[in-house]
Amino acid sequence: MTQLTTAERIALYGGGGLLLIGTLGIGLLEILAGAPHPVSGEGQIVHETLVPLTVRSSIMLLGLLLWGAYAATSVAREPPTDTSV
Amino acid sequence: MVTDIRTRLLGQDVSFPVDESRLAYWLVVMRLIVGWWFLHAGLDKFLAWPFDASWFVGGAAAQTTLGPILVLFSDGILLSFTNVMVPLGQTLIGLGLIVGAMTRLAAFFGAFLMTFFYFVNGETGGWSHGVITGDLLGLLIFAMIATLGAGRVLGIDAYLARTDLVRDHPRLRHFIG
């Protein structure tokens, strides 16, 4: 059970936090303070957003980039010597 | 058969017991289904060769968050590279997951590809079904497979982990399940 370095903590908590803001956080804000989300006859959600979708996309992309950076840089870390874990 | 999962969150020890027999069952089922999803997608493109990804890396995709990167691959040699690497990558990722070989590496590249699919499909479709799409869930399943190291359950990675090569070069274990 290895301890996280500061950089790993930033990548994991920062990445997960941004993804949660992009999905859950902004989603909750849209429900509480935004316009209703009616579903059209074609099954599409028709609504005006409080937070522009490009901003939401960018927040989520930054979160995924931090996760990717964590995964890519973890290769440099020496894994435990026990091959059963 | 209960085993303790040793894990930490926010600096706290949050280890918990889990029924190992069901965990193994779940890891294999998830690996096989997600693996087949990608293997099928890759083979389909090879069987209907030539594959042309220009619609994905150019056109409407140019206006998406990832557009500035994608358009670099929209013509010339980089488009040819994309046309080969997408089906080849999907095939290898799918095979890797199904046989449990280099599982973490396969899952990493699966999540990498899903990032492009998620944003391009979502943004060109105006997020018409919300931001939590099947593409995002696929991406998260790849991340889960990489995290859990699912390749050692009925997978080739169980053998690879015991080879001299991996014992002598422990960093290789970052790539296997």
For the cut 80, the answer to whether the pLDDT of residue A46 exceeds it is no
Query: Cβ separation of B65 and A71 shorter than 8 Å?
Result: no
Tell me the torsion sign for CA atoms A12, B151, A1, A78: negative
A53-80 burial: b if 16+ Cβ within 10 Å, else e: eeebbebbbbbbebbbbbbeeeeeeebe
Mean pLDDT of B53-78: 84
Mean pLDDT of B169-177: 81
Mean pLDDT of A53-82: 85
Calpha distance A81→B161 (Å, rounded): 11
Give the residue from B122, B127, B98, B128 showing the smallest Cα distance to B110: B98
pLDDT band at A65 (very low <50, low <70, confident <90, very high): very high
Q: Give pLDDT, residue B97.
A: 95
pLDDT band at A85 (very low <50, low <70, confident <90, very high): very low
Q: Give pLDDT, residue A47.
A: 66
The Cα of A80 is separated from the nearest Cα of chain B by a number of Å equal to 8
Mean pLDDT of B112-117: 93
Q: Give pLDDT, residue A23.
A: 92
Query: Cβ separation of A61 and B122 shorter than 8 Å?
Result: no
For the cut 80, the answer to whether the pLDDT of residue B73 exceeds it is yes
Percent of chain A with pLDDT over 90: 39
Calpha distance A56→A45 (Å, rounded): 16
Whether A74 and chain B come into contact, CB under 8 Å, resolves to yes
* Chain A partners within 8 Å of B173 (Cβ): 79, 83
**Pair B41, B104: CB distance under 8 Å:** no
pLDDT band at A80 (very low <50, low <70, confident <90, very high): low
Q: Give pLDDT, residue B59.
A: 79
DSSP H helices, chain B, are: 20-47, 54-57, 67-70, 76-99, 103-124, 134-148, 156-160, 164-168
Q: Give pLDDT, residue A82.
A: 56
Instruction: Considering only the beta carbons, identify the residue of A1, A54, A75 that sits closest to B7.
Output: A1
The Cα of B173 is separated from the nearest Cα of chain A by a number of Å equal to 7
Task: Check residue B57 and give left, alpha or beta (phi > 0: left; psi -120 to 50: alpha).
Answer: alpha
Instruction: Considering only the beta carbons, identify the residue of A60, A68, A78 that sits closest to B112.
Output: A68
Instruction: Note the ipTM here.
Output: 0.79
Whether B139 and chain A come into contact, CB under 8 Å, resolves to yes
Instruction: Considering only the beta carbons, identify the residue of B8, B131, B167 that sits closest to A83.
Output: B167
- Comparing alpha-carbon positions, the chain A residue that sits nearest to B133 is A23
Q: Give pLDDT, residue A15.
A: 94
First to last CA, chain A: 10
Give the residue from B9, B108, B113 showing the smallest Cα distance to A12: B9
Distance (Å) of CA A23 to CA A53, A54, B55, B130 = 11, 13, 27, 9
Helix (H, G, I), strand (E, B) or coil at B136: helix
| Contact residues, A window 40-59, toward B, CB-based 8 Å cutoff | 43-45, 53-54, 56-58
What are the structure tokens assigned to B170, written together? 């422990």
pLDDT tens digit sequence for A2-24: 677 888 889 999 999 999 999 99
Query: Cβ separation of A1 and B129 shorter than 8 Å?
Result: no
- Mean pLDDT value across chain B: 88
Instruction: Considering only the beta carbons, identify the residue of A44, A64, A74 that sits closest to B174.
Output: A74
What are the structure tokens assigned to B71, written together? 């358009």
Among the residue ranges A31-40, A68-77, B157-166, the one predicted with the least confidence is: A31-40
**Pair B64, A54: CB distance under 8 Å:** no
Whether A6 and chain B come into contact, CB under 8 Å, resolves to no
Best of A31, A57, A59, A62 to mutate (most B CBs within 10 Å, chain B): A57
Q: Give pLDDT, residue B123.
A: 86
Calpha distance B174→B103 (Å, rounded): 10
Among the residue ranges A9-18, A61-70, A73-82, B27-36, the one predicted with the least confidence is: A73-82
